[in-house]
Amino acid sequence: MTDRNRRFLLKARPNGMPKTSDFALVEEALPDLQPGQFLIRNHYASLDPAIRGWLDDAPSYMPPVALGDPVRASTVGVVAESKAEGFKAGDWVMGLNAIEEYSMAQAGGFSQLIDIGNVSSPTHFLSVMGAVGLTAYFGVTEILKPEAGQTMLVSGAAGAVGSLVGQLGKQAGCRVIGIAGGPAKCARLTDDYGFDAAIDYRGKSAEALSDEIGAAAPKGIDLVFENVGGIGLDATLLHLNRFARVALCGLISEYNSEHYGARNLWQLIVHSATVRGFLISEFLDRFAEGAAAMAKLVGEGRLRFDEHIEEGIDNALPAFLRLFEGSNQGKMILKLI
């Protein structure tokens, strides 16, 4: 085993879209393992839009990544060495660590053992059975609570969370409409994920989007799974039905810019609608249940999920930026070994 660790550090707080000079790839000596600690050889890191928020020095649900620290990310890997009870060399673990080749962890911390025996790839613990899958699962089953015959609109629909949400909506008997960027992604929505209709938002005004949403949802919208925000959300709000529910999962269109806000909030009053923001961590004590439910659907061949794997820690930034260009085709994962 090497005693060196390559780490992707935050050097400066990004202003707008992150750039190369905001980060540094460094090689450091691995510190000695202390009692209670174990060392993880990270195989894969999950590149999530949420990481962008953690780079800002702004109040949030987690402290910002400190300047000089490695960029926080969920990883899956193998215990390389252990002085912690319950973890031995060779065990597979997942946890909230960082974009680095090795992470130091401790028993009782954010890393847990995983059984990769029943999955075709450990990456599934970062996608369909990880936070992304659980966000879709609990967002649909606990926040939106769909009923057969309702109309559900999903934004960011061709992405990791959105593609799963749409499929869960279809299984609940909803008419599901997805908004995504570009004709290829829209074709994937209907052809691969079974959405009833797809709307390409690129290059469109709020008015044009509203017209297309109206055409795709002639009976109005009962349920919204919002991943994007901005003019798409504003256009969506114009089509809500009475007592509609909006699950506010993410606002990716605003992560690298000033908040756009929402200008049609009055529609919530007009339609007695509810907006419910949520974080997947709310459901921490039910993760095992959610992962088992998603694994069962995958096992039965009822859920399609895609992973987009980029290779090498040197590619951390370009791979991360793909999330904001929209050039990821599924859950964005960085392969580290």
Q: How many CA atoms lie within 13 A of 42 on its CB side?
A: 31
Residue with Cβ nearer ligand NDP (161 or 206): 161
Q: How far is the CB of 168 from ligand NDP (least distance, A)?
A: 14
Q: How far apart are CA 211 and CA 196, in angstroms?
A: 17
Residue with Cβ nearer ligand NDP (169 or 250): 250
Q: How far apart are CA 81 and CA 38, in angstroms?
A: 6
Q: How far is the CB of 292 from ligand NDP (least distance, A)?
A: 19
Q: How far apart are CA 137 and CA 133, in angstroms?
A: 6
Residue with Cβ nearer ligand NDP (70 or 250): 250
Q: How far apart are CA 153 and CA 149, in angstroms?
A: 13
Q: How far is the CB of 332 from ligand NDP (least distance, A)?
A: 6
Q: How far is the CB of 32 from ligand NDP (least distance, A)?
A: 35
Q: Other C-beta atoms within 10 Å of 15: how many?
A: 10
Residue with Cβ nearer ligand NDP (246 or 323): 323
CA 173 vs. chain centroid, Å, equals: 24
Q: How far is the CB of 249 from ligand NDP (least distance, A)?
A: 4
Closest-approach residue to ligand NDP (CB): 159
Residues that bind ligand NDP (CB under 6 A): 48-50, 131-132, 135, 156, 158-162, 180-181, 185, 227-228, 249-250, 252-253, 278-280, 323-324, 326, 328
Sign of CA dihedral 53, 56, 59, 65: positive
Assign 166 to helix, strand or coil.
helix
* Nearest partner of 135 among 145, 143, 146, 123, judged by Cα: 143
For strand 102-106 and strand 111-113, is the pairing parallel, antiparallel, or unpaired?
unpaired
Residue with Cβ nearer ligand NDP (100 or 306): 306
Residue with Cβ nearer ligand NDP (78 or 208): 208
CB 157 within 8 A of CB 179: yes
Beta-bridge partners for 99: none
Residue with Cβ nearer ligand NDP (79 or 143): 143
Q: How far is the CB of 19 from ligand NDP (least distance, A)?
A: 16
Kindly state the DSSP code that residue 261 receives in the 8-state scheme.
-
Q: How far is the CB of 47 from ligand NDP (least distance, A)?
A: 8
Q: How far is the CB of 280 from ligand NDP (least distance, A)?
A: 4
What is the full DSSP assignment across 98-127? ESBSEEEEETTSSEEE--GGGSS-GGGGTT
Residue with Cβ nearer ligand NDP (241 or 327): 327
